C-alpha cells in the first residue's frame, strides 16, 4: 500500500510541470573586460574617498593651527549664518548713505561748537565724553560701571588698544596723555616813546557783541595767544617781513636789514606760523607779531562793498588767529617727549621744536596802527610785546571706538580731532559733525546685523591744535602695533570752511579717493558730483583784489594740480593728524574737506568768529556740505574695510615716484650741481614692473577666492540641512547640539594687578605705577589662552561651512592675505630708520612737510632739500643712494 502511494507521487511529479517562475536563471559568466572596469571604478571611488577624507583631515588640522587661523575665520564674512546672508557690498553702502542728514549734522555741530573747548580744559573733557557716549550708543556698547577713562601707559590703556585684534564686540574708551602745553596769562602790545612812556597800548583781545551770541558771550574766554609760544617780554624797533617765508627773510638780509634785537611784524599765509617765528629767531630777532591782512581776503572786502562780520561776509577787523608756533617741520607732538609717548611720569626733555623768542597774534586793527608807525611819515618808535604764559603738564583725552571685523588683524583707522582754539565751528567741529553722521550710519548697519570684513577703529584726537599732540602720542605709544595691523588711515580735520572741495592722499589712495568722490552727489547742484565741487568758488565777487594774493592763489592751485599727477588728489604735507601715521610709521593716508577760495565769505580761522552762527549763515547753510563729507568718508571706510583686496594702487604710486624724480632732475639742471640720478631711475622703473606684476597677482588672488566662496555657498544649503537633521536626532537621543559657547575673550580675561594705595606726606593718596612689564605679561597670557582654545575647539561647534573646508579654499584666502600685505608694505617700504637730516623724527623719504613750509608737502624730501636748501652735491648723491636702497628693497618685497 505504501509502495503504491510512493509510486503515484512520482507519477504526478512527472505529469505536473514545474512553474516557470521557480526556474533559476542561468547566469552568464562576466567577461574579463567588465571585471577590469569594475575594479578600476571601485579603486577610483576608494581613492577619491580617501583623498577627500585626507583633505578634510588636513583642512581641520589647518583650522586648529595658528598658521591658518585668520584666513579661515575671515571666510565667515561671506557664509550664510543662521539662515541669514551676510550684508556686504552695495546693500551695505545704500543703507549707510541713507542715514546722514542735515538736521542731525546741525544738532551735532551745535553740541560741540557753541562753547569753548581748548585742549586740556573742562570743556574739552566734556566733548570727549560726548563722543564716547555717541560711540557707546551707536555701537551698542553697554556703559561700564566705572568710566572707561585710562591713563596712558597703564595696563588698562595698553590693553584697550592691544586687544583690538581680539575683540568680538564693539568697544570704546578714553586714553589720557600728559603733554607739556601752555595757557595764557597776561599779554601786552605797546608803542613806547623816546622818553620811555607808553604812547599807544593795543587791545589784544577780539571785540564782539550779541549779534553773534556765542562770540559775544565767549569773546575773552580763551585769550588771543600762540600755543607753545615762549614766555617773556621783548622790545625793539619794528621790521616788516611780509609773509615771513624763507625768501622774505633772505630778501631783508640782501637789503642789509639787521634783525638782531628787532620785533618782526609778519602777516599770516604762505607757510606755517611757527616757521615765521623760527626764521626770525635764527636771524636774531627779539620777538614776532603775526597779523591777518585784509589783502589776503580776496574780493570779500569793504573795498568791494561787503560789510565786516557779523553784519556781512568780510573780515571783522578785530579778529585774531590763534594757533601753535611749534616748529612743526622738526617734529610734532609733545615737545618734551619726542619719539616716545607722554605718560604722566615720562622723562622730559627741554623741547627743541618750540620758539626761544616770544610772539603774539594780533588783529588787522592793531597791525594797521603798527604799519603806520613804520610807514612813510611814521616815527618808528620802540614796540614792546609781553607774552606771559603758564607752561605745564596738562592732561588731554583721545576718545577711541572699535568695530571688530572678520579679519581682526587688519585695521582701518579713521580719525578727526575734537579740540578747538575757541568754539571752532569749522576747525574742527565741522569735521566732528561729519564724523558724527558717519558713526550714526555705521550704527544703523550694526543694528541690522552687519559686520565689516576688517576691523574699524575710530579716533577723536585731542590737542591737535597745539601740534598734533593726541594722535602723535598714540602713534608713538603703539608704533609696533600700528605698523603690524593698520592698513590705512583716513583723516578729517575741518570738513567745511569754504566752497571748494579738495582731497589729499598717499598716491596709492589717489584713484580710490577720486573714484568714491565721483559717486557722491554734489551737495547743492543736481546731476553733479562731490568731485565736481573741486572747481567751485564762493559767491562774493568784486573788482578790487590784491594782485599778489590772486597770483599766489592761482600758483598754489596750479602747483596742487601738478603735484596731483593729473588726478586732482595732491600729496600730504603736514598740519593735521595723518602726520605720525604717514610720515613716521608708513601708513597710507588720506585727508579731505571743503576749503576757502578768494570769493568765499572770510573764514575767521582760530577766532571767536569761527562760530556756529557764521557756519550756518555764511559757510554751509543747510549743512549739505557736512553731509556730503560724511557720506564720502563713510563710503571710503566701508570699501576699505569691506574689499577682499585693499583698493591701494601701488603702480600709480611707483609712477608718481618717477615724476617726483623728474622734478628733482629739473632742480639739478637749474643748479650748478652735478648729480647722476640714473641708478635711482632704473630702480624706480624696476619697482614699476614689480608693481604691475602685483596688479596681476592681486586680481588672480581675488578671483580665486571668489570662486572658492561660490563653491562654498553651493555646499552650504546641503550641509545646513544635514546639520539640522543631525541636531534633531541628537535632541531625541537626549544629546542636543551645543550652542552659544562663552566667548574666548571672556574665558581668557585676566584681571589687572592693582597697586596698593599709599598715603603720601601731604595726605594725598598715591597709587604707584607697576610699569609696562606686568601689563605685557598679562597680554601674552590672554593671547596664549585664546590660541589654546582655538586649537582645541570641537568641530561640531564651528560654523558648518568650516568643518569640511578644502585646502584649496585656505590657500586662496592666504593668497589674498599675502597680496594685501604687499600692498600695505608699499608705504612702509619708504620709511627709513635714519629719517631726514636735521629732523630725524620724519622717516618717510617719499614725502614730508617742507622744512620751510610746514603745511605743504615736499616730495623726495631729503633728496630735494639737499639741492634746494643745502646746495650740496655730495649730500644729494648720498640721499639718492638712500632712496634707491629703499626702492630696491621694496621691489624685492613685491616680488617675494
CB 890 within 8 A of CB 821: no
| Residue among 156, 250, 306 at smallest CA distance from 754 | 156
Provide the b/e sequence for 208-221 (b: ≥16 CB within 10 Å): beeebebbebbbee
Residue where the block lists cell 608704533: 479
Query: Can you read off the three cell numbers belonging to residue 741?
Result: 559657547
| Residue among 400, 393, 397 at smallest CA distance from 462 | 397
Query: Can you read off the three cell numbers belonging to residue 213?
Result: 551770541
The DSSP call for residue 848 is E
Tell me the Cα Rg of the chain.
Answer: 35
Provide the b/e sequence for 680-697 (b: ≥16 CB within 10 Å): bbebbbbbbebbeebeeb
Active-site positions? 464
Query: Rounded to whole angstroms, what are the CA distances from 467 to 24, 653, 688?
Result: 101, 29, 36
The DSSP call for residue 84 is B
Query: Can you read off the three cell numbers belonging to residue 835?
Result: 629719517
Determine the Cα–Cα distance for residues 841 and 849; give it in Å rounded to an integer. 12
CA atoms within 13 Å, Cβ hemisphere of 106: 14
Determine the Cα–Cα distance for residues 495 and 427; give it in Å rounded to an integer. 8
Look at phi and psi of residue 406 and say left if phi exceeds 0, alpha if psi is from -120 to 50, else beta: alpha
Query: Rounded to whole angstroms, what are the CA distances from 867 to 341, 493, 545, 666?
Result: 34, 33, 36, 11
Distant-in-sequence, close-in-space partners of 577: CB < 8 Å, separation ≥ 6: 415, 416, 417, 461, 464, 468, 470, 471, 491, 493
CB 75 within 8 A of CB 798: no
Determine the Cα–Cα distance for residues 319 and 595; give it in Å rounded to an integer. 19
Amino acid at each position: 500500500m505504501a509502495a503504491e502511494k510512493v509510486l503515484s507521487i512520482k507519477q504526478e511529479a512527472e505529469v505536473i510541470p514545474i512553474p516557470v517562475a521557480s526556474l533559476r536563471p542561468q547566469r552568464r559568466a562576466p567577461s574579463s573586460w567588465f571585471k577590469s572596469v569594475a575594479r578600476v571604478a571601485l579603486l577610483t571611488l576608494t581613492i577619491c574617498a580617501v583623498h577627500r577624507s585626507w583633505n578634510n583631515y588636513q583642512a581641520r588640522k589647518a583650522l586648529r593651527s595658528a598658521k591658518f587661523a585668520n584666513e579661515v575665520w575671515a571666510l565667515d564674512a561671506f557664509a550664510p549664518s543662521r539662515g541669514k546672508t551676510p550684508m556686504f557690498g552695495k546693500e551695505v553702502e545704500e543703507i549707510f548713505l541713507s542715514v546722514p542728514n542735515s538736521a542731525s549734522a546741525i544738532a551735532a555741530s551745535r553740541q560741540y561748537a557753541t562753547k569753548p573747548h581748548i585742549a586740556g580744559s573742562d570743556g574739552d573733557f566734556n566733548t570727549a565724553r560726548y563722543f564716547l557716549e555717541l560711540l557707546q550708543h551707536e555701537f551698542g556698547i553697554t556703559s561700564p560701571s566705572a568710566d572707561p577713562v585710562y591713563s596712558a601707559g597703564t595696563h588698562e590703556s595698553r590693553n584697550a588698544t592691544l586687544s583690538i585684534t581680539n575683540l568680538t564686540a564693539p568697544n570704546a574708551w578714553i586714553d589720557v596723555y600728559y603733554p607739556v602745553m601752555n595757557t595764557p596769562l597776561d599779554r601786552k602790545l605797546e608803542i613806547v616813546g623816546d622818553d620811555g612812556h607808553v604812547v599807544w597800548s593795543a587791545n589784544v583781545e577780539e571785540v564782539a557783541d550779541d549779534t553773534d551770541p556765542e562770540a559775544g558771550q565767549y569773546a575773552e574766554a580763551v585769550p588771543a595767544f600762540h600755543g607753545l609760544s615762549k614766555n617773556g617780554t621783548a622790545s625793539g624797533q619794528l621790521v616788516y617781513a611780509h609773509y615771513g617765508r624763507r625768501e622774505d627773510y633772505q630778501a631783508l638780509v640782501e637789503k642789509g636789514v639787521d634783525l638782531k634785537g628787532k620785533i618782526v611784524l609778519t602777516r599770516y599765509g604762505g607757510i606755517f606760523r611757527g616757521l615765521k617765528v623760527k626764521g626770525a629767531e635764527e636771524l636774531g630777532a627779539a620777538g614776532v607779531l603775526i597779523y591777518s591782512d585784509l589783502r589776503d581776503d580776496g574780493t570779500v572786502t569793504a573795498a568791494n562793498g561787503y560789510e565786516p562780520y557779523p553784519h556781512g561776509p568780510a573780515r571783522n577787523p578785530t579778529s585774531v588767529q590763534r594757533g601753535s608756533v611749534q616748529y612743526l617741520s622738526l617734529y610734532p607732538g609733545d615737545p618734551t617727549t619726542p619719539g616716545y609717548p607722554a605718560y604722566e611720569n615720562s622723562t622730559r626733555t627741554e623741547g627743541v621744536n618750540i620758539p626761544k623768542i616770544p610772539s603774539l597774534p594780533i588783529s588787522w586793527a592793531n597791525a594797521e596802527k603798527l604799519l603806520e608807525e613804520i610807514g612813510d611819515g611814521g616815527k618808528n618808535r620802540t614796540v614792546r610785546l609781553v607774552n606771559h604764559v603758564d607752561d605745564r603738564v596738562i592732561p588731554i583725552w583721545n576718545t577711541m571706538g572699535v568695530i571688530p571685523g572678520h579679519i581682526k588683524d587688519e585695521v582701518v583707522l579713521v580719525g578727526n580731532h575734537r579740540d578747538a582754539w575757541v568754539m571752532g565751528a569749522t576747525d574742527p567741529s565741522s569735521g566732528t559733525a561729519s564724523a558724527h553722521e558717519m558713526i550714526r550710519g555705521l550704527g544703523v548697519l550694526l543694528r541690522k546685523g552687519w559686520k565689516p570684513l576688517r576691523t574699524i577703529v575710530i579716533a577723536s584726537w585731542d590737542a591737535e591744535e597745539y601740534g598734533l599732540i593726541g594722535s602723535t602720542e598714540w602713534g608713538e605709544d603703539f608704533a609696533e602695533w600700528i605698523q603690524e595691523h593698520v592698513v590705512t588711515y583716513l583723516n578729517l580735520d575741518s570738513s567745511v570752511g569754504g566752497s571748494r572741495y579738495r582731497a589729499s592722499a598717499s598716491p596709492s589712495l589717489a584713484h580710490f579717493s577720486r573714484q568714491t568722490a565721483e559717486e557722491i552727489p554734489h551737495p547743492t547742484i543736481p546731476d553733479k558730483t562731490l568731485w565736481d565741487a573741486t572747481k567751485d568758488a564762493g559767491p562774493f565777487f568784486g573788482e578790487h583784489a590784491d594782485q599778489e594774493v590772486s597770483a599766489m592763489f592761482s600758483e598754489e592751485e596750479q602747483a596742487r594740480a601738478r603735484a596731483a599727477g593729473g588726478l586732482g588728489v595732491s600729496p600730504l604735507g603736514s598740519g593735521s593728524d595723518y602726520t605720525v601715521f604717514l610720515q613716521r610709521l608708513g601708513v597710507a593716508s588720506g585727508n579731505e574737506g571743503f576749503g576757502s577760495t578768494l570769493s568765499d565769505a572770510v573764514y575767521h580761522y582760530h577766532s571767536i568768529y569761527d562760530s556756529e552762527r557764521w557756519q550756518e549763515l555764511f559757510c554751509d547753510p543747510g549743512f549739505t556740505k557736512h553731509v556730503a563729507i560724511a557720506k564720502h568718508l563713510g563710503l571710503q571706510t566701508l570699501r576699505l574695510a569691506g574689499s577682499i583686496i585693499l583698493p591701494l594702487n601701488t603702480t600709480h604710486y611707483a609712477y608718481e615716484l618717477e615724476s617726483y624724480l623728474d622734478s628733482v632732475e629739473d632742480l639739478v639742471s637749474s643748479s650748478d650741481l652735478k648729480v647722476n640720478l640714473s641708478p635711482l631711475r632704473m630702480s624706480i622703473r624696476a619697482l614699476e614692473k614689480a608693481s604691475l606684476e602685483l596688479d596681476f597677482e592681486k586680481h588672480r588672488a581675488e578671483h580665486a577666492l571668489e570662486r572658492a566662496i561660490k563653491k562654498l555657498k553651493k555646499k552650504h544649503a546641503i550641509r545646513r540641512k544635514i546639520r539640522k537633521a543631525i541636531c534633531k536626532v541628537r535632541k531625541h537621543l537626549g544629546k542636543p547640539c551645543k550652542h552659544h559657547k562663552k566667548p574666548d575673550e571672556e574665558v581668557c580675561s585676566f584681571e589687572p594687578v592693582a597697586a596698593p594705595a599709599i598715603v603720601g606726606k601731604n595726605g594725598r593718596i598715591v597709587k604707584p605705577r607697576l610699569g609696562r612689564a606686568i601689563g605685557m605679561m598679562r597680554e601674552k597670557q590672554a593671547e596664549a589662552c585664546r590660541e589654546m582654545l582655538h586649537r582645541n575647539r570641537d568641530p561640531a561647534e564651528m560654523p558648518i561651512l568650516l568643518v569640511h573646508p578644502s585646502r584649496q579654499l585656505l590657500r586662496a584666502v592666504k593668497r589674498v592675505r599675502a597680496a594685501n600685505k604687499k600692498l600695505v608694505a608699499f608705504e612702509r617700504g619708504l620709511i627709513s630708520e635714519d629719517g631726514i637730516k636735521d629732523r630725524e623724527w620724519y622717516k618717510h623719504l617719499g614725502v614730508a612737510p617742507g622744512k620751510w613750509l610746514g603745511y605743504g608737502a615736499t616730495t623726495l624730501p631729503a633728496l630735494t632739500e639737499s639741492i634746494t636748501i643745502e646746495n650740496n652735491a655730495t649730500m644729494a648723491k648720498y640721499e639718492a643712494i638712500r632712496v634707491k636702497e629703499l626702492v630696491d628693497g621694496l621691489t624685492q618685497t613685491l616680488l617675494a
